[in-house]
Amino acid sequence: MRGAAVILVLIMATGMASSFIARNKPRYGTTPMAMPIPKGWPQPVYNFRENQPTREGFELGRRLFYDGRLSKDGNFPCAGCHQQFAAFATFDHSLSHGVDNQLTTRNAPALFNLAWQKEFMHDGGVNHLDLQPLAPLTASNEMGETISNVLQKLRADKQYRRMFRAAFGDTLINTQRMMKALSQFMLMMVSADSKYDKVKRGEAAFTLAENLGQQIFNRKCASCHPPPFFTDFSYRNIGLEPDGTLADSGRMRITLDKRDAYKFRVPSLRNVKVTAPYGHDGRFFSLADVFSHYRQQHTTMPGVDSLVKNGIPLSNFEIGQLTAFLFALTDSTLLSDKRFGLPPGMKEAQFPDPQNH
């Protein structure tokens, strides 16, 4: 009898435990989003176990990305410097602009294929995608805001409370959730549908110029800009004379190693047609400027990468073919995908002085 009583207690306990678990399962119905991994690409480095993208999280991240309230004066959303039509770089701006008529010291990088990137910023100072947006958000010459202020603004907004609940199960709004939602949105920005990709998949054919350009590219550019990302994610000194007004030592700022002075991350060349100006400080306004830089010798400045130090021989003819190939890396699907645009019903943040911006 005593045994039976114990069993009964155990059964009841088990039952209670399982109903407890059932009650605490997320009641909210999220729709998981699969991370697109293009054929032949390596596995992403982003840890999806910690942050599984959902339709609801993505939409929340999208709203945050376009919301000026993430900045001090309400005029500088993420999307201010990361414009979709420019592959989420800034169209026609060398140095990015910040609050209170300030210039930053760097050119806004394009955003795509971030799930495969280990480190962020031109100097690789940020070690996790979830952390990255905190850098521009809190920098006094960028969005100039504090995390606490942003969270306060979001908590006061009924729609955000609703969206956080939809994405995470309750209305708790904290730094981690805000950043995870932004990551969910940005992770989906996969660029793998350029003409180059279509040729790879057998859906299109290169023109003669593109074909010749690819051959030149493979010989003279691909060691630092290898496909499929068109960057090896390394940091290199390509002989850009330091600009005293910027005082930017690049990678050395993070590693404190003198050998890393003036090294910056090799940028992806995907969508290069729409991401001008070029260089970490946007000093090159056109591809022609970039090619002419690489044609020159860079022997006076110490520490220049051996691959570019003596100049890369490029004839005018080759530059033409190369340009044709580089233009075939433009992914019009990413640039026009409505999922990544301003959310419906949301107004674009107004810059204080559109003429100057």
Partner 1 sequence: MIWNPLIGKYGSCIMAALLFAGTLQAQAKSFLLQFRHRVGTAPLVKDSVYANSFAEPFSVHSFKYYISHIQALDAAGKKLEALSGKVFLVDQSDTASTRISLAALPAGTVSVRFLLGVDSTYNTAGVLTGTLDPLNGMFWTWNSGYIMAKLEGRSPASKAPGNYYTYHVGGYKPGQQTARWITLPVNNRQTLYVAANVLKWFNGKHDIMIAAQPVCHAPGSLAVLLADNYAEMFSVINEP
- Tell the residue number behind the tokens 């051996």, with chain if given: 306
Distance CA 284, CA 277 (A): 5
Q: Which is nearer to partner 1, 2 or 23 (CB)?
A: 2
Stretch binding partner 1 (CB under 8 A), from 46-54, 231-239, 299-307, 339-347:
46-54
Q: Does 253 bind partner 1 (CB under 8 A)?
A: yes
- Integer angstrom CA distances of residue 144 from 96, 102, 103, 129, 152: 13, 10, 12, 20, 15
Site track for partner 1 across 99-128, x = CB under 8 A: ----------------------x---xxxx
**By the rule CB under 8 A, 171 interacts with partner 1:** no
Q: Shortest Cβ distance from residue 248 to partner 1 (Å)?
A: 12
Using CB under 8 A as the binding rule, whether residue 356 contacts partner 1 is answered as no
CB of 143 within 8 A of CB of 70? Answer: yes
Map the footprint of partner 1 across residues 140-159, applying CB under 8 A.
146-148, 151
Residue pair 260/251 in contact (Cβ under 8 Å)? The answer is yes
Q: Which residues, in sequence order, are CB contacts of 186 under 8 Å at separation 6+?
A: 61, 65, 111, 114, 129
Q: Are 56 and 166 in contact (CB under 8 A)?
A: yes
Judge whether 61 and 185 are in contact, CB under 8 Å: yes
Q: How many residues does the chain have?
A: 357
Of 50 and 203, nearer to partner 1 (C-beta) is 50
Instruction: Select the residue interacting with partner 1 from 81, 137, 212, 328 (CB under 8 A).
Output: 137
The alpha helices in 46-114, defined as continuous H runs, are 55-66, 78-81
Q: Is 346 in the site for partner 1 (CB under 8 A)?
A: no
Return the residue of 95, 221, 240, 254 that touches partner 1, per CB under 8 A.
Answer: 254
Query: Can you tell me which of 37, 135, 209, 342 binds partner 1, judged by CB under 8 A?
Result: 135
Cβ closer to partner 1: 210 or 281? 281
CB of 48 to partner 1, least distance (A): 12
Dist. CA 110–CA 231, nearest whole Å: 13
Residue with Cβ nearer partner 1 (30 or 249): 249
Q: If you ran DSSP here, which 8-state letter would residue 236 be given? A: E
Give the binding site for partner 1 (CB under 8 A).
Answer: 2-4, 6-7, 9-10, 47, 50-51, 121, 125-131, 134-135, 137-139, 146-148, 151, 174-176, 179-180, 253-254, 256
